[in-house]
Amino acid sequence: MSIIESSDLTKYFGDLTAVDHINLSINDKEIFGLVGPDGAGKTTTIRLLATILNISAGTATIDGYDVQKEPSSVRKLIGYMSQRFTLYADLTVKENLHFFARLHQVPKDQRETRTNELLDFSRLRGFEQRQAGRLSGGMQQKLALACTLIHQPKVLFLDEPTTGVDPVSRREFWRILTQLNQQGATLLVSTPYMDEAERCTRIAFMDNGRITACDTPLNIKNNIGGRLLELDVNNPRAALAILKTASELKSAYVFGELLQIAVDKKEFSIRLIRRLMADNHIVINSIKEIPMSMENAFLSLAGAKEDKGVSRGSANV
């Protein structure tokens, strides 16, 4: 059963189309991920669904309530966490939780109980009297999430919630998100991290305001097709420039000091690559096939957009 739906959802900023006729159908109790390059429209999409921005065209509903026509009903059901730390730095952890409890009209006789539950849940117990501005980045994000959860929302919108947080804190944050989902919450999360995208039930790839692919992480990788080769040469940048001129190869990217090349035919492509490198006096140290990763799929989808253009996409599955 869908809890978040949109039909031709669109947002214009003057002449700019930030969100371009997207169709979403997100199931109840799903972790749904939005991925895509900077400026793809992920943040704007989340803000439209969270009633922060007005919709230019199309419609959206949250649990049956119209986002544009019934924003007050929608806001009672949702929690929204933005990219930036937006809490009060001079208030303590506990004071921030109490403030958001009052803001969301949590009954007075329930506020202390709810605050204590969230302190334990977010593992902030022991830091109640510390000012929010003096917390580490990871703890600030956990506090922001706790404040978002104070009124027990049914749907959570999380806009790149772990950007700039260290890897250990990111894992801890996602442990909390997974636990929330297991308790029945629906999560819509945008993320620049492909390992986080792998944790989602389904993901939608956005670019230029449109959804160009939507499926499970496994199916996204499998649907890219072809094979992936890893090439180690003495001059990666020069090799990349040469490989990009070969129409027989699907795409090529630099990963650190290595090149990764998407191909359709493995043996033919290896022979072609060896010939191109030899003709240009580039030394090959090694060439081998490697598994397709989520990051490879991301780059392949972005490359397909650049090379072929994309049509309006739908996230209905």
Q: Span 31-59, mean pLDDT?
A: 96
If one counts the domains in the chain, the total is 2
What residue type is 149 in one-letter code?
L
pLDDT of residue 69: 96
Establish if 296 belongs to a structural domain.
no
Question: What is each CA distance from 112 to 60, 96, 117, 130, 271, in whole angstroms?
Answer: 35, 12, 9, 17, 69
Length of the chain: 317
Residue 236 sits in a domain whose CATH number is 3.30.70.100
Q: Span 155-166, mean pLDDT?
A: 90
- Pair of tokens at residue 99: 């403030």
Examine the domain organization and report whether 246 and 105 are in the same domain: no
Establish if 76 belongs to a structural domain.
yes
Give the closest residue to 301 by CA, choosing from 290, 286, 313. 313
Distance CA(58)–CA(75), nearest Å, equals 19
166-222: pLDDT as tens digits: 888 888 889 889 999 999 999 999 998 899 999 999 999 999 999 999 999 999 988
Examine the domain organization and report whether 136 and 231 are in the same domain: no
Examine the domain organization and report whether 161 and 50 are in the same domain: yes
Residue 43 has pLDDT above 90, yes or no: yes
pLDDT band (50, 70, 90) for residue 25: very high
Residue 78, classed as helix, strand or coil, is: strand
DSSP H stretches of helix in 61-107: 71-77, 93-103
What residue type is 36 in one-letter code?
G
Examine the domain organization and report whether 275 and 145 are in the same domain: no
Establish if 246 belongs to a structural domain.
yes
pLDDT of residue 33: 97
pLDDT of residue 302: 74
Percent of the chain with pLDDT over 90: 68
What is the β-pairing status of strands 186-190 and 78-81? unpaired
pLDDT of residue 13: 97
Residue 300 has pLDDT above 80, yes or no: no
Distance CA(221)–CA(295), nearest Å, equals 9
Q: Are 81 and 157 in contact (CB under 8 A)?
A: yes
Q: Are 157 and 80 in contact (CB under 8 A)?
A: yes
Examine the domain organization and report whether 119 and 201 are in the same domain: yes
First to last CA, the chain: 12
Examine the domain organization and report whether 111 and 249 are in the same domain: no
pLDDT of residue 186: 97
Examine the domain organization and report whether 153 and 239 are in the same domain: no
Q: Are 222 and 293 in contact (CB under 8 A)?
A: no
The H or E element that residue 118 is part of is helix 108-121
Establish if 193 belongs to a structural domain.
yes
What residue type is 102 in one-letter code?
R
Quick one: CA dihedral 94, 97, 103, 108, positive or negative? Answer: negative
**In terms of residue numbers, what domain contains 232?**
226-291
Longest dimension (CA), the chain: 78
pLDDT of residue 313: 37
Residue 175 sits in a domain whose CATH number is 3.40.50.300
Residue 311's Cβ-count burial label (10 Å; 0-12, 13-18, 19+) is: exposed
Establish if 124 belongs to a structural domain.
yes
What is the β-pairing status of strands 16-27 and 57-62? unpaired
Establish if 85 belongs to a structural domain.
yes
Contacts of 235 (CB under 8 A, 6+ apart): 282, 283
pLDDT of residue 306: 41
pTM (global) more than 0.95: no
Residue 316 has pLDDT above 60, yes or no: no
Q: Which of 220, 249, 278 is the last residue of a domain?
A: 220
pLDDT band (50, 70, 90) for residue 303: low
Examine the domain organization and report whether 61 and 178 are in the same domain: yes
Examine the domain organization and report whether 32 and 167 are in the same domain: yes
Contacts of 26 (CB under 8 A, 6+ apart): 2, 3, 4, 5, 32, 186, 188, 315
Examine the domain organization and report whether 59 and 117 are in the same domain: yes
pLDDT band (50, 70, 90) for residue 293: confident
Residue 76 has pLDDT above 50, yes or no: yes
Residue 280, classed as helix, strand or coil, is: coil
pLDDT of residue 133: 92
Distance CA(155)–CA(296), nearest Å, equals 30
Establish if 317 belongs to a structural domain.
no
pLDDT of residue 314: 42
Establish if 52 belongs to a structural domain.
yes
Examine the domain organization and report whether 114 and 165 are in the same domain: yes
Q: Span 23-51, mean pLDDT?
A: 95
* pLDDT top residue among 223 and 131: 131
Examine the domain organization and report whether 184 and 245 are in the same domain: no
Q: Span 64-71, mean pLDDT?
A: 96
Q: Span 224-241, mean pLDDT?
A: 91
Q: How high does pLDDT run on average in the chain?
A: 90
Residue 311 has pLDDT above 50, yes or no: no
SS3 content of the chain, % helix, strand, coil (to 5): 40, 30, 35
